[in-house]
Structure 1
Amino acid sequence: MGAPALSVITVVRDDPEGLAATRDSLAAQSWRDFEWLVADGGSAPATLAVLAEAAPDWLDSRPDGGPFAGMDRALAVARGTHVLFLNAGDCLADGDVLARIALLLAGRPDLLYGDSLEDPGDGRMRRKPARHCRWAFYGMPAHHCAMFYRRALLYGLRLDTGWRIAGDYAFTLAVLRRAGYVIRTDHLVARFAPGGLSRRQAALGRREQFRIRRYLLRMPLLLAACIFLLQIVAASLRHSAPNGYAFWRFRGDCR
């Protein structure tokens, strides 16, 4: 068989419910020209049972250095023209997402990304619009589960395990430095899993992003500090007034 058009990479550790949701989301896709690669970080039997039932195209289960080590491990064996990181608990928005995205991927963009569904903190899923990539100095243009990377562009790049939370941000900045053809689509792509590592350790993620801006983007200290403070204010608003935060950052249509 020839190489698939898309490699979907999932990392998981001890999250059987999230893994099952991701599996079901992929099983529901009407477009099937993809492979599913799962890097498990040495899970307990409950998660391994879901993996055995799911039967991914590739599975490697062993203790590792965290999610970025797993992503990197799976990326080394991926065969698709493009790569999507859909971690355990993340789901595609509906059963035709990949069919719609495949039409855009046929043009071989270096990076394609779109909107996601997310709970801003009030228990309701809302549509979070992707930012233009020119704002990548502020943060990820979209959630990782709504970003498709052209695999040929990734040669020599690694997801740095020195970052606990923001490794995907550093990785995406490196991709954007190489990319010549980027598509920001209006399609709704994915549903971001609530309660993930980046949400549980948001303060650490902000500190790591600060360091990435200072030392990878070489951003002046004052500007990096202003962005850091702005993100703290946004996080406080999200916690204390989720409806207000949703009005500011999310679109009005809810799912």
Structure 2
Amino acid sequence: MLLSIVTITYNAERFLERTIRSVIASPSADVEYLIIDGASTDNTLTIIRLYEHSITTWTSEPDRGLYDAMNKGMHRARGRYVWFMNAGDELHDAQTLPNLLDRIRATAADVYYSDALFVQENGSAVGLRSVVTPHSLPKNLTWHDMAMGMKVCHQAFVARRSIAPDYLTHNLSADLDWEIRCLKAAKQIEFLPFTLCKYLVGGLSVQQHRRSLTDRFKVLMAHFGLLPTLLNHGRIVWRAWRHSTPDV
């Protein structure tokens, strides 16, 4: 199995179907699709069962939050690469998956990344992340580029599973930490010249913004040290003030 696409859900009846439909639009024998549900009490499981003929495996059980569920997904994945596409998010278009698989077969890099298109709940486009937020997207990404925050949207980041660590389970910036640790372990990192995903704005870290900022500071301090992180957070505040869109 070349690629595992993993979707994490919890009471996601409003958004899950759009995610499933985008993933299964380009079926491939080299791709498995896993859904890890946290014991939803709405119609999420009804939607999963509706499409289970196109889902490799799914489970529904209590978990300890988003990143605990993501760890479960990684541990159950069989693909050489892992790609998280959570409820509400979508592959950018029907050619995205074939294009990604072609690059993986051609270069076998450790990490693939690209831009993400931000979309509203009704599907309307907000704009590319690198344009509508202060986060420019380097064409030659290294872990040092993360010193001022998350340069790559998590849903636009595909990692070789053998280098992917477990997520921190009690930190709202665990995806930032995960990307940094993947980049540190990667020997080959490749920028993709096509957009990987549509990202539904308003996720968990946006809903709990203050704690997210504190957790981000902890992650960056662990990787870059206290003084550089303090200085960089001053730059982050200045950058956000200059930018018309709040830092995401």
Q: Which amino acid aligns with 1:158?
A: D
Distance of 2:237 and 2:204 partners within structure 1: 18
- Of 139, 151, 165, which residue of structure 2 is paired with 1:141? 151
Q: Which amino acid aligns with 2:207?
A: R
Q: TM-score if structure 2 supplies the norm length? A: 0.85
Distance of 2:88 and 2:237 partners within structure 1: 26
Moved over 3 A (4+): 229-238
Q: How does 1:86-165 map to 2 (within 5 A)?
A: 86-106=85-105, 107-119=107-119, 124-129=125-130, 130-131=137-138, 132-133=141-142, 134-154=144-164, 157-163=165-171, 165=172
Say if 2:91 and 2:197, in contact at 8 Å, map to a contact too: yes
Q: Does 1:220 align with 2:246?
A: no
Cα distance change, pair 230–118 in 1 and its aligned pair in 2 (3 A) = farther
In the TM superposition, what is the alpha-carbon distance from 1:76 to its structure 2 partner?
0.6
Aligned residues with identical type, % of pairs: 23
Distance of 2:73 and 2:27 partners within structure 1: 24
Q: TM-score if structure 1 supplies the norm length? A: 0.83
Cα distance change, pair 27–210 in 1 and its aligned pair in 2 (3 A) = same
Q: How does 1:203-214 map to 2 (within 5 A)?
A: 203-214=210-221
Q: Does 1:42 align with 2:48?
A: no
Say if 2:65 and 2:169, in contact at 8 Å, map to a contact too: yes
Distance of 2:182 and 2:193 partners within structure 1: 21
- Give secondary structure in 2 for the equivalent of 1:176: helix
Say if 1:114 and 1:146, in contact at 8 Å, map to a contact too: yes
- Give secondary structure in 1 for the equivalent of 2:147: coil
In the TM superposition, what is the alpha-carbon distance from 1:30 to its structure 2 partner?
5.8
In the TM superposition, what is the alpha-carbon distance from 1:83 to its structure 2 partner?
0.6
- Of 198, 206, 209, which residue of structure 2 is paired with 1:191? 198
- 62-71 or 111-120: bigger deviation: 111-120
Task: State how many pairs are aligned.
Answer: 233
Say if 1:30 and 1:95, in contact at 8 Å, map to a contact too: no
Distance of 1:27 and 1:119 partners within structure 2: 20
In the TM superposition, what whole-angstrom CA distance separates every residue of 1:110-139 from its partner, at most 9, and x where no partner exists?
A: 11100110159xx74212233333412222
In the TM superposition, what is the alpha-carbon distance from 1:195 to its structure 2 partner?
1.6
Q: Does 1:11 align with 2:4?
A: no
**Structure 1: stretches of 5+ with no match in the other structure:** 250-255
Say if 1:43 and 1:61, in contact at 8 Å, map to a contact too: yes
Q: Which amino acid aligns with 1:228?
A: H
Structure 1 residue aligned with 2:23: 26
Say if 2:147 and 2:224, in contact at 8 Å, map to a contact too: no
- Give secondary structure in 1 for the equivalent of 2:99: helix
RMSD: 2.3
Cα distance change, pair 78–30 in 1 and its aligned pair in 2 (3 A) = closer
Distance of 2:94 and 2:200 partners within structure 1: 17
Say if 1:206 and 1:228, in contact at 8 Å, map to a contact too: no
In the TM superposition, what whole-angstrom CA distance separates every residue of 1:60-98 from its partner, at most 9, and x where no partner exists?
A: 211111111111001111111111011111101100101
Distance of 2:226 and 2:11 partners within structure 1: 40
Say if 2:167 and 2:174, in contact at 8 Å, map to a contact too: yes
Q: Which amino acid aligns with 1:231?
A: I
Cα distance change, pair 234–119 in 1 and its aligned pair in 2 (3 A) = farther
Distance of 2:117 and 2:81 partners within structure 1: 22
